[in-house]
Structure 1
Amino acid sequence: MKRIMVAGIMSALVFVGVMAVPRSIVSVKDVNVKVAAGNAPQLPYQLWVTYTDGKGEYRQVRWLNSSLDVEQEQADATHHPVGSTYEVRGFIVGDNTTSNGYPIKARVSVVQQTERPASHPVAQPLPLDKVQLTGDDRLTHNRDLDIDNLLSLDPKQQLYNYYDTYGLPTTDCPVSDGWDSPTTKLKGHGTGHYLSAMAMAYASCQDKQKKALLLSRIELMLNEMRRCQERTFVWSDSLGRYFEARDVAPEAELRELKGSWKDFDNYKQDCRHYGYGYINAIPPQHCVLIEMYRPYNNEDWVWAPYYTVHKQLAGLIDIASIIDDKAISEKALLIARDMGLWVWNRLHYRTYVKKDGTQAERREHPGNRYEMWNMYIAGEVGGMAESLARLSMMVTDKEQRAHLLEAATCFDSPAFFDPLARNVDAIRTRHANQHIPMITGALKCYEAGGGTYYYNIAQNFWHTIQGRYRYAMGGVGNGEMFRLPYTQMLSMANNPEPTINETCCAYNLAKLTKDLNCFNPDDASYMDYYERLLYNQLVGSINPHQYQVLYQYAVGLNASKPWGNETPQSTCCGGTGAENHVKYQEAAYFVNDNTLWVGLYLPTIATWDAQKTVIRQECQWPAEKSIIRIQKGGGRFAMKLRVPYWATEGFDVRLNGKSITHHPTPGTYVEIPLRKWTKKDVVEVVMPFTRHFDYTPDKLEVAGRQTYSPMWTAALMQGPLVMAATGVKTWDEATIHDEADWDRFHFVPDYDADRHVTHYFRLDAPVPPATEVDTLVLSQTLAMAKGRIDAQQAWNALTIKVPEHAPWAPHGYARMTEQYQQCATILTSRINPVDAEKLLSKLNAALTAMRPGNLAEMEDMDELKQLMQQVRDLPRSEVRRDALWRAERVVRYVTDGSGTKDMIDKATNQLKDILK
């Protein structure tokens, strides 16, 4: 495997005050933005800067309009009508011209309407089975490791839950495990990922025997799933039609419907009344219960009902789309179509949308989708809209197509979508992977015929992610949650664990980015980000020594990759992990009738059937040089080659030995115009990796209970690769004072890193002392804190309170109110600016660490941890081992920010039983 070493780091990096010949910013590209009235402006997340030495690069930007109140005001057409203009302040981060960075402004002009997006995709990726990875490198190694692991799994285990749910014998089937086990209500999610991964593995596999085995197991799964599904085809004489989804649990029954395991054992006795076409690894009452707004509680209510439905639908659709056996692909489509229509039938007849009124008023009647999809995890639906919209474009019957598209739009989440459609950041504090797949669904609804509302949601979301939430490896989320905008360092440094950025998020962001690129193939920023995700977090999320994948990623100080998740059903990231490594090539090439876009420089052979051309790309991954040849055929088309954002020096494209570029602009494409290609043609792309910093938008000032002198922090990049160093245990050790300090560290690419690695470093450079408090930032932060206090006090005043619906968990809320009271004194006292910044940082840290009221906090595990220590002292036994294993998982979930109190209670009671 190729390793990248770093030497002479400082010679290529801006580090004012440390380099022998420092350089500083002399100019920044002007920012003039047009925005349609009723929308907040979409401001660039990076800008081209020019330095005193004449060189330039892209630098990240932090804009000062990220406060929700400010964005809502900017999106109010009565405040900013057509014809008006206004300015937004911002800063180039990582610069020490001022304590906040290099000051800039954006001029915003309000217009009636901005440019409409393309009504259909401009380009499409070459199909997965038409692009094959070649060579012997980390990519092919990971792919083969994934395929072999999939083939090691017993398909009968994947069928266990279906047989159990549909009243068929399970005696020959190993019991499902992980999150598909009999004691989890997410069962079926892993099987869905298994189906998708098997299809992708079939498309990517080079071994004929393995390919045949993959196909036979896919066929077995489909035959048995259809067998179960057909048990729901039950005619009702009294209804004069088949028993359908809408007939499950009439309203009076629904209001009394329970969700305990004993209840689900009863529901499994009557698969004939699941409703025509229902196929799922758990009875339909799981989907139905959320219509009564039942919370996330695995023991007594639900987990994420439609999330599991989506995984299984997606698996079936992937088989129908990828597999080249007509009978198999048609059966997969048939099963998916019937289940898709079950979903339409249920949501069309039994649900509705009511946006106005109080929450109690919105929940007065069952089935209000505004509330259903806005619930934490219980309302997590995965990519239901994406799958249903895909289905609508695959079926031929017009009525079915209309029903499936309607079903897709039934998963609109107005509380989340409506602000995003106006470019108001509704991302903050939400569960990350609950919401990212909803955005891919919105974009697919647009492609299937929905309005620009859906496109705007997807595009606005993607751009908001780039500046406000992403980390250097491309991932997002902290403890599974989006935190506050522009607080990546603060939230990372104050997280209980240094492992953050759920891998499922990276999987779904890559999918969204690929789909957006289809509408904007000439905008290289999409593939720049895709490359960042793929080359770092995705490739780095599999253990190259034995098949294990990551849930949370190693991002923070002295972090180690927590390997595990050996099966698709083990966790959600075990599922996406099974798919990630058999589809690296899916976005390498995009095409339309007469243009080929080379989006990624990977060693591949690509077959473009429409042009009757086979293209071979030869390089060593990760590539600083790539050669593209016509291996077979020779169509007539233009070729566009991406100039990565980081390729600021030495990039060149040569056609048959002659350079065709002249100072190409990073973050664009170089075009070889329409021409007839032959096997004699050779395209050579040269792209030396340039070293640069990827800055966090905020400084490290507070970590745990310790305060630090405010310094910019950054990850070291070599081309597209994030570099990681070992042996750094404290933030003091991770502080770079001068150029020689870099020699203390040994760097490797993040994808090759494993134990005790650090990516972010504090950069100690002279900073001009603050002379006054930035009242804009202060007032915005105080307003945010006051809003949370008001929401909590309003809930406290309710006569009837449901704990799961409390705005904020109590311990974090108490810490925030204490910091708010101290910070509020800044406005009324003559506190010096340095102390004011420290107080503000502590308030930001407290705000960032708050958890929603339905989630457990670290303090809630005190008794559990004490009991775990007592049980460890007992003699070893299988019961002891199992109880401790479950308790440790609960500790991990709560630490990561997704655990609930019922999980703690169950683990606590299990340990108490052992100690009796």
Structure 2
Amino acid sequence: MKKLVLKVLLFVAFSYSSISVGTPLQAIPLTDVRITDGPFLHAQQTNLSYLLAMDPERLLAPYRREANLPVNTESYPNWENTGLDGHIGGHYLTALSLMYASTGDKEVLARLNYMVAELAKCQQQHGNGYLGAVPDGTRIWKEIAAGNIQADLFTLNQSWVPWYNLHKVFSGLRDAYLYTDNQQAKTMLIEFSDWMLALSNKLNDQQLQTMLRTEYGGLNETLADVYQITGEQKYLTLARRYTDMSLLTPLLAQQDKLNGLHANTQIPKIVGVARIASLANDHSWLASADYFWQQVVTKRSVSIGGNSVREHFHPSEDFSSMVKDVEGPETCNTYNMLKLSKLLYQQKGELNYLDYYERALFNHILSSQHPVHGGLVYFTPMRPNHYRMYSAVSEGMWCCVGSGIENHSKYGEMIYSAGDNQFYINLFIDSQVNWAAKNIRFSQTTAFPDSDSSKIVIHDSGKFALNIRYPAWVNHNIELSVNGKPVAISARPGQYITLDREWQAGDEINVRVPMQTTLEQLPDQSNYYSILHGPIVLAAKTLPFANETLNFIADSSRMGHIAQGPLCDLTEAPLFISDGDSFLQHIKRTDSEKLRFSTTDASMNQSAPLELIPFFRLHDSRYTLYFPQVNGKDWQAQKQQLQLVAQREKALAENTLDVIAPGQQQPEADHFFEGQNSEAGINGRRHWRHAHDWFSYRLNTKGETNPVLRLTYFGLDKDRRFDILIDNKLLTSVSLSGDKGATFYSVDYPIPSHLLPTDSHYLRITFKAHKDSIAGGLYGIRLLKH
């Protein structure tokens, strides 16, 4: 059975047998591709409805507010009025641009043009090229221009990732120009770039790198695009300056220093590195971007193509947190990994990037949209028997809503590519395409992945080489015919099949890509398996708890995107009791028209067989897509251990009112972190935060009148003295002696009722250092019931 597992795990290597086509390629523009049927057309149309349901006036409100223009309606709630005001408005520009390019919808274009025109008024009001909705932005940028820079993981001069925020509207203007030829957007984009240039020229490289400690999105990528648009070298120079060298330097040396880093802070930076490399013909930067891609895709990604736990890169040799935590792969990460894959493919022409792109597109991106109401997913838990939360169009304003409305607007972008006299068919998606350079049209008709065949029709005559991807996951020989005549194939899986000839209008190519049901083990070789059919990840709907009614649509609270319902005892989640991976032989297809399978006759801890379906079709339910496997002789002992862990886990969860992971970006942002002279870092695999002055968070007591504060420390931290304050009233003073050894330990501090607010369930907890000392470090903060 070992042979099978190793074969299946070729996905983790993403078909390194792929060969380069030798020359840079270009994806066929969205304007020349139309999705014509299938799940991607449905997702595109669902997203169109979602986009049109959003209110431009509410998206524009924070921009008008910051420009001191009349505001005629309230901003959207959630992240849009709690510090990241305006970021969705920037994403909206891009999503509208992509949707118009993909569909030609006139209402979408009219809405885009209106948004650009109204934002132009805001930019003109500022008078210096600036355009943003960052709260109190005038103060922040004035301080930064003066060299007064206070940078942390996600705060810059007490503002929540302001450069990340600006990057969204910056990119939106670029896309409005590139995809719809909006000349006003181009003018605004250049004026905005010049504002950035003027501000940055006041800072030396060290000051600018200090500023880049704070998440800044893909500013370097957009600046590089401005260089390409204008041809002015100053923008490419600025793009290089806006590249975080603390991340890039080890990558240039082929060193993996990613453990513990906030994943989606890093990925856009490397997208920018790859973009700069492509424009500057910088081979070392391109190699570093490729090295990053390899470390993320082959060592830190799960079967659906996603990565990260609680938004951070976990150690490549330990995926335990991936199957235990409910904050699994973040959709934004995969959105950006697809951008990076596209850039690397276009530069190198290697098909391993397409293998990943296909896997992530079908299994993570497509699954992240609700097929009825269009709600978008932030975290996709890998924990067995958990579930996902979806956004409501007027309430959820997370980062993954912004990237999500872009994701489902651009499904045509990598189906086809071209170079010189070569045309490439990369993905099996029902569509039509116009190869404008040769004035040749194609159509592809397919029911993939329910069917393993596709028909390609060439509608115009011409001599060229047609290249059809031979997927690495094809486990039997691919079948191909031209006008009904079989074609002998010398290519191997992971390569292109090349048909170079004089083509006539009406020529028909039929291709069959046989799919096989396989297993994929977690990359750390722990006994968790994902089940696939071809590149499609299968999952099982699992039963809710007794008397449980789950809500799958998030409210507007800051942590509404997290599925915070009860955790399933892992002994009750579906698992296979077998000798190694022998359970695969018991998984049978039950429907010849749709992908449906059953675990009939497999030895499991379930009373009835499970139905397995493509994960992208599974919604509004608990689910399992990574199945534990245990040997029969070990099952009872493992079951007892798992039950003990589950009991402790359940008891802690039931007793927890609120919890914060110090030093981790989104948990801190969701708890309204503030601080002065504060730092965060990683000790082994644990994140921490401390301060030479102070730092604070907001916690929810949920009405508990005698809560207990539990803090986790590191045993070697010594000579650290600080006060713990509740709403500026002293709870206690702490002195860390450093005499507990290299271990983590927790201390409980009961909070008396007289320190609790009387008019709110929220309190602010502050850690304030004594003179010449340090507050913290804190490795965990948990508010418990009495």
| 1:807 equivalent among 676, 681, 684 | 681
Structure 1, unaligned stretches of length 5 or more? 1-14, 17-22, 26-48, 50-55, 63-91, 93-105, 107-114, 234-275, 354-367, 701-711, 769-800, 814-846, 873-904
Structure 2: distance between partners of 1:802 and 1:160: 30
Q: Does 1:756 align with 2:622?
A: yes
Relative distance call for 1:128 and 1:915 in structure 2 (3 A) is: closer
Q: Does 1:677 align with 2:503?
A: yes
Structure 1: distance between partners of 2:100 and 2:498: 34
| 1:387 equivalent among 222, 228, 235 | 222
Relative distance call for 1:297 and 1:736 in structure 2 (3 A) is: closer
| 2:117 equivalent among 195, 212, 223 | 223
Greater share of strand? 2
Spell out the pairing of 1:330-479 with structure 2 (5 A cutoff): 330-353=183-206, 368-373=207-212, 375=213, 379-396=214-231, 401-449=232-280, 451-479=282-310
Structure 2-normalised TM-score? 0.73
Residue in 1 aligned with 2:454? 626
1:441-474 per-position Cα deviation (integer Å, ceiling 9, x unaligned)? 0011112216223212211111111221001100
**Contact map agreement 2:277 2:286 (CA 8 A) in 1:** yes
Residue in 1 aligned with 2:96? 198
Which letter does structure 2 place at the counterpart of 1:506?
A: T
Q: Does 1:572 align with 2:424?
A: no
SS at match of 1:586: coil
Paired-residue identity, %:
24
Residue in 2 aligned with 1:315? 172
Which letter does structure 1 place at the counterpart of 2:514?
A: P
1:5-39 per-position Cα deviation (integer Å, ceiling 9, x unaligned)? xxxxxxxxxx46xxxxxx679xxxxxxxxxxxxxx
Which letter does structure 2 place at the counterpart of 1:807?
A: G
Q: Does 1:667 align with 2:494?
A: yes
Relative distance call for 1:750 and 1:912 in structure 2 (3 A) is: farther
1:339-390 per-position Cα deviation (integer Å, ceiling 9, x unaligned)? 012112211232313xxxxxxxxxxxxxx233322x3xxx111110111101
Which letter does structure 1 place at the counterpart of 2:445?
A: E
Structure 1: distance between partners of 2:21 and 2:407: 29
Q: Does 1:737 align with 2:577?
A: yes
**Contact map agreement 1:296 1:302 (CA 8 A) in 2:** no
1:589-646 per-position Cα deviation (integer Å, ceiling 9, x unaligned)? 1111211111111000001111101110000132511010013x22322111111121
Structure 1: distance between partners of 2:302 and 2:21: 28
- How far the C-alpha of 1:543 sits from its partner, in A, is 0.6
Q: Does 1:173 align with 2:173?
A: no
SS at match of 1:408: helix
- How far the C-alpha of 1:660 sits from its partner, in A, is 2.3
Structure 1: distance between partners of 2:488 and 2:677: 63
Q: Does 1:598 align with 2:425?
A: yes
Which letter does structure 1 place at the counterpart of 2:131?
A: I
SS at match of 1:647: coil
Residues 447-456 or 472-481, more deviating: 447-456
Relative distance call for 1:117 and 1:481 in structure 2 (3 A) is: farther
Residue in 2 aligned with 1:72? none
1:744-767 per-position Cα deviation (integer Å, ceiling 9, x unaligned)? 321111111121111112233599
Which letter does structure 1 place at the counterpart of 2:27?
A: P
Residue in 2 aligned with 1:286? 140
Which letter does structure 2 place at the counterpart of 1:173?
A: T
Residue in 2 aligned with 1:242? none
Residues 536-545 or 283-292, more deviating: 283-292
| Equivalences, count | 613
| 1:585 equivalent among 401, 412, 421 | 412
Structure 2: distance between partners of 1:60 and 1:601: 18
| 1:559 equivalent among 351, 364, 386 | 386
**Contact map agreement 2:474 2:493 (CA 8 A) in 1:** yes
SS at match of 1:638: strand
**Contact map agreement 1:612 1:635 (CA 8 A) in 2:** no
- How far the C-alpha of 1:178 sits from its partner, in A, is 2.7
Structure 1: distance between partners of 2:242 and 2:21: 23
- How far the C-alpha of 1:296 sits from its partner, in A, is 5.6
**Contact map agreement 2:351 2:494 (CA 8 A) in 1:** yes
SS at match of 2:401: helix
Residue in 2 aligned with 1:643? 470
Residue in 2 aligned with 1:726? 541
Residue in 1 aligned with 2:555? none
Relative distance call for 1:854 and 1:530 in structure 2 (3 A) is: farther
**Contact map agreement 2:530 2:537 (CA 8 A) in 1:** yes
Structure 1-normalised TM-score? 0.63
Q: Does 1:59 align with 2:10?
A: yes
**Contact map agreement 1:558 1:756 (CA 8 A) in 2:** yes
Spell out the pairing of 1:148-297 with structure 2 (5 A cutoff): 148-170=49-71, 172-181=72-81, 183-184=82-83, 186-205=84-103, 211-233=105-127, 276-282=128-134, 283-287=137-141, 292-295=149-152
- How far the C-alpha of 1:911 sits from its partner, in A, is 6.5
Which letter does structure 1 place at the counterpart of 2:315?
A: L
1:566-596 per-position Cα deviation (integer Å, ceiling 9, x unaligned)? 2697011110011111111111011112111
Residue in 1 aligned with 2:28? 126
- How far the C-alpha of 1:222 sits from its partner, in A, is 1.5
Structure 2, unaligned stretches of length 5 or more? 544-567, 584-601, 635-674, 708-750, 763-786
**Contact map agreement 2:705 2:756 (CA 8 A) in 1:** no
Structure 1: distance between partners of 2:622 and 2:246: 40
Structure 1: distance between partners of 2:141 and 2:755: 28
**Contact map agreement 2:335 2:407 (CA 8 A) in 1:** yes
SS at match of 1:202: helix
Relative distance call for 1:416 and 1:718 in structure 2 (3 A) is: same
Greater share of helix? 1
Structure 2: distance between partners of 1:371 and 1:568: 34
| 2:322 equivalent among 488, 492, 515 | 492
Structure 2: distance between partners of 1:909 and 1:639: 73
- How far the C-alpha of 1:868 sits from its partner, in A, is 4.4
Which letter does structure 2 place at the counterpart of 1:758?
A: T
Structure 2: distance between partners of 1:116 and 1:559: 41
- How far the C-alpha of 1:865 sits from its partner, in A, is 5.1
Which letter does structure 2 place at the counterpart of 1:281?
A: A
Relative distance call for 1:720 and 1:320 in structure 2 (3 A) is: same
RMSD: 3.2
Relative distance call for 1:909 and 1:315 in structure 2 (3 A) is: farther
**Contact map agreement 2:9 2:521 (CA 8 A) in 1:** no
- How far the C-alpha of 1:915 sits from its partner, in A, is 6.2
Relative distance call for 1:219 and 1:60 in structure 2 (3 A) is: closer
